[in-house]
Amino acid sequence: MDGGVDQTKTKRSGGERKEKKEKAAAPPTKSAKGRKKETGLGLTNTKDGNFGEWYSEVVTNGEMIEYYEISGCYILRPWTMAIWETMQNFFDPEIKKMNIKTCYFPLFVSNTVLQKEKDHIEGFAPEVAWVTRSGSSDLEVPIAIRPTSETVMYPYFSKWIRGHRDLPLRLNQWCNVVRWEFSNPTPFIRSREFLWQEGHTAFATKEEADTEVLEILELYRRLYEEYLAVPVVKGKKSELEKFAGGLYTTSVEAFIPNTGRGVQGATSHCLGQNFAKMFEINFEDEKGEKAMVWQNSWAYSTRTIGVMVMVHGDDKGLVLPPKISAVQVIVIHVPFKDADVKEIMNACSATVKALCDLGIRAEADLRENYSPGWKYSHWEMKGVPLRIEIGPKDLANNQVRAVRRDNGSKVDLPMADLGEKVKGMLDDIQQSMFDVAKEKRDACIQVTKTWDEFIEALGQKKLILAPWCDEEEVEKDVKAKTKGEVGAAKTLCSPFDQPELPEGTLCFASGKPAKKWTYWGRSY
Q: Which residues inside 75-114 make contact with a second copy, applying CB under 8 A? A: 75-78, 80-82, 84-85, 101-110, 113
Of 72, 296, 141, nearest in space to 203 by CA: 296
Q: Which is nearer to a second copy, 75 or 411 (CB)?
A: 75
CA distance 351 to 314: 28
Q: Which is nearer to a second copy, 166 or 226 (CB)?
A: 166
Binds a second copy (CB under 8 A): choice among 11, 15, 69, 503: 69
Asked if residue 358 lies in contact with residue 419, where contact means CB atoms within 8 angstroms, the answer is yes
At closest approach, how far in Å is the CB of 458 from a second copy?
31
Q: Which is nearer to a second copy, 118 or 367 (CB)?
A: 367
At closest approach, how far in Å is the CB of 341 from a second copy?
18
CA distance 387 to 330: 5
367 to 396, contacts with a second copy by CB under 8 A? 367, 369
Residue 290 interacting with a second copy (CB under 8 A): yes
Q: Which is nearer to a second copy, 294 or 517 (CB)?
A: 294
User: Cβ–Cβ contacts within 10 Å for residue 280, how many?
Assistant: 12
CA distance 395 to 416: 12
Q: Which is nearer to a second copy, 84 or 90 (CB)?
A: 84
User: Cβ–Cβ contacts within 10 Å for residue 459, how many?
Assistant: 9
At closest approach, how far in Å is the CB of 522 from a second copy?
25
Residue 30 interacting with a second copy (CB under 8 A): yes
Specify the stretch interacting with a second copy by CB under 8 A; choose among 120-128, 238-246, 253-261, 484-492: 120-128
At closest approach, how far in Å is the CB of 182 from a second copy?
8
Binds a second copy (CB under 8 A): choice among 11, 14, 93, 136: 136
CA distance 406 to 320: 8
The answer to whether the peptide bond before residue 126 is cis (omega within 30 degrees of 0) is no
Residue 353 interacting with a second copy (CB under 8 A): no
CA distance 95 to 111: 31
At closest approach, how far in Å is the CB of 485 from a second copy?
24
Residue 183 interacting with a second copy (CB under 8 A): no
CA distance 446 to 442: 9
The answer to whether the peptide bond before residue 168 is cis (omega within 30 degrees of 0) is yes
Residue 483 interacting with a second copy (CB under 8 A): no
Burial 498-519 (b: 16+ CB within 10 A, else e): eeeeeeebebbbbeeebebbbb
Residue 140 interacting with a second copy (CB under 8 A): no
251 to 280, contacts with a second copy by CB under 8 A? 280
Residue 26 interacting with a second copy (CB under 8 A): no
